[in-house]
Amino acid sequence: MKIREWIAQSDFLQEGLAMHGLMARLYPIPRSITGEGYRETLGLLAEHIPLEVHQVPSGTQVLDWRVPDEWNIRDAYIKDASGRRVVDLRQSSLHVVSYSTPVHRCMSLEELRPHLHSLPDDPDWIPYRTAYYEKTWGFCMAHRVLEEMKEGQYEVLIDSTLEAGHLTYGECLLPGSSAQEVLISTHACHPAMCNDNLSGVVVAAWLARALAGVERRFTYRFVFIPATIGAITWLARNEREATRIRHGLVLACLGDGGGFNYKRTRQGDAEIDQAAAHVLRQRPGEHAMLDFSPYGYDERQYGSPGFNLPIGSLTRTPNGRFPEYHTSADDLDFVRPEALGESLALILDLLEVLEGNRRYLNLNPKGEPQLGRRGLYRSIGGADIGITPLALLWVLNQSDGGMSLLDIAQRAGIPFAVIRLAAEALEAHDLLRALDG
Ligand code: ZN
């Protein structure tokens, strides 16, 4: 089966509902950049896709960084004088600043206050805070709850450990007929938030499921990594593999109701940048093409000058541009199944272009070949086939070995899918020969 056939036979709303179901299972797991929660997350993904789990010991040098100690949390609360848990990790894993050092003591509200984080402008939402590389502790809570706390003594517990262990990441490899690779990367380290980034995790997993069942020219490598340190760790351990990457995509924030935003690669004019522009133009609805910047997600590691990989980034509303970003309001209701399904469909459209974007040589380049004699005009009479005479003429005219099918589609203003079908028909009649693998 080809990708386009998989797309044609799929109900993307059903796929979206299934992705949302997996998201609901992943949501309560207390995750951070290391620890049991990360391994448990990969364990759930492994129920759906073939996943190799890599464990890298704490202290390992990775490029300019070191793998940090592993952080695990069992319980955390703030109890008032009556013994009631005012803040309780069991209610939300966002309540503790990620990588908090352990603490257990009684303290006054005044002493406690510098360790409490809230959002006065959104008093019902819990913020998301991390302290990966500082030795500190803290709680995140709804501002409304904080305002109700009276002066007095509180029992504070963070039952965490921060000790030598591992950084864990998951990798799913789907070999293709070529050793050239497409890298799909997503961060999977955030606790209890759905758009950023369980949406990226479940869409990547469903993409892997879809691609596992289709013909593949490229080899696909999916990495489920903790943000920043995970990408740096993967690059440090895979310098050789990285040289085989022909295209790549960082996935995040794919479940909100906003239009698509594609952020170009560092090169700015890579084949995937052209392909993304083409497929986005073909779709209804708002979208934007953004220029590369060394901020955002792991595209900045893959696009660091020593690697300079052609890896773009796809989101719906980008990080930091929706109010729910990095708060408890980025929850299961904020992410819509139909948005997840549409994101999956778009990425498959993009990969279908990359898979089929080849250069051809016209084997009858002197004058136009007589298409009627070969039945090519007749075979395209049926509208269901989708090939137009104009597409045949464009492919024949431009196939001098220099132009790819995507170049031709853009120059002709014809959808790539139509141009590709025309090329396949011409190849079947020995009028074209593919030049690259
Ligand atoms: Zn984030």
Domain ends where: 335, 356, 377? Answer: 356
CA–centroid distance, 184 to ligand 1, in Å, is 17
Whole-angstrom distance, CA of residue 127 vs CA of residue 326: 6
Same domain, 186 and 92: no
The DSSP H or E segment spanning 349 is: helix 337-356
CA–centroid distance, 33 to ligand 1, in Å, is 12
Same domain, 333 and 248: yes
Domain ends where: 314, 334, 356? Answer: 356
148 contacts 186 by C-beta, under 8 angstroms: no
Taking alpha carbons only, the member of 89, 88, 53 closest to residue 188 is 53
Same domain, 118 and 171: no
Whole-angstrom distance, CA of residue 257 vs CA of residue 317: 8
CA–centroid distance, 195 to ligand 1, in Å, is 9
Ranges of beta strands (E only) in 308-350 are 311-315
- pLDDT computed for residue 376 by the predictor: 84
- pLDDT computed for residue 378 by the predictor: 61
- Model confidence, pTM: 0.96
Whole-angstrom distance, CA of residue 61 vs CA of residue 226: 16
Same domain, 303 and 404: no
- pLDDT computed for residue 379 by the predictor: 54
CA–centroid distance, 185 to ligand 1, in Å, is 14
CA–centroid distance, 252 to ligand 1, in Å, is 9
Same domain, 191 and 246: yes
Local structure of 207: helix, strand or coil: helix
Show the domain range for 122. 70-163
When divided into structural domains, the chain yields a total of: 3
Beta bridge partners of 57: 166
* Cα separation values, 69 from 56, 134, 165, 169, Å: 11, 12, 6, 15
CA–centroid distance, 196 to ligand 1, in Å, is 5
Ranges of beta strands (E only) in 112-194 are 116-117, 139-140, 153-163, 166-174, 181-187
Local structure of 141: helix, strand or coil: coil
CA–centroid distance, 257 to ligand 1, in Å, is 18
Which tens digits make up the pLDDT trace of 238-263?
999 999 999 999 999 999 999 999 99
- pLDDT computed for residue 383 by the predictor: 46
Same domain, 268 and 123: no
CATH of the domain at 55: 3.40.630.10
Backbone angles phi, psi at 209, to 5 degrees: -60, -45
CA–centroid distance, 10 to ligand 1, in Å, is 31
Same domain, 57 and 142: no
Same domain, 222 and 154: no
CA–centroid distance, 205 to ligand 1, in Å, is 19
Q: Which regions in the chain score pLDDT beneath 50?
A: 382-383
Same domain, 55 and 119: no
Same domain, 184 and 241: yes
Pairing mode, strands 52-57 and 166-174: antiparallel
Please name the amino acid found at residue 390. L
CA–centroid distance, 360 to ligand 1, in Å, is 43
- pLDDT computed for residue 388 by the predictor: 85
Same domain, 293 and 322: yes
Mean pLDDT of the chain: 96
Which residues have C-beta within 8 Å of that of residue 321, sequence separation ≥ 6? none
- pLDDT computed for residue 375 by the predictor: 83
CA–centroid distance, 384 to ligand 1, in Å, is 44
CA–centroid distance, 312 to ligand 1, in Å, is 17
Domain ends where: 107, 131, 163? Answer: 163
Which tens digits make up the pLDDT trace of 286-332?
999 999 999 999 999 999 999 999 999 999 999 999 999 999 999 99
173 contacts 233 by C-beta, under 8 angstroms: no
CA–centroid distance, 224 to ligand 1, in Å, is 14
CATH of the domain at 405: 1.10.10.10
Same domain, 211 and 320: yes
> What b/e sequence results for 76-97 when a residue is b if at least 16 CB atoms lie within 10 Å of its CB, and e otherwise?
bbbbbeeeebbbebeebbbbbb
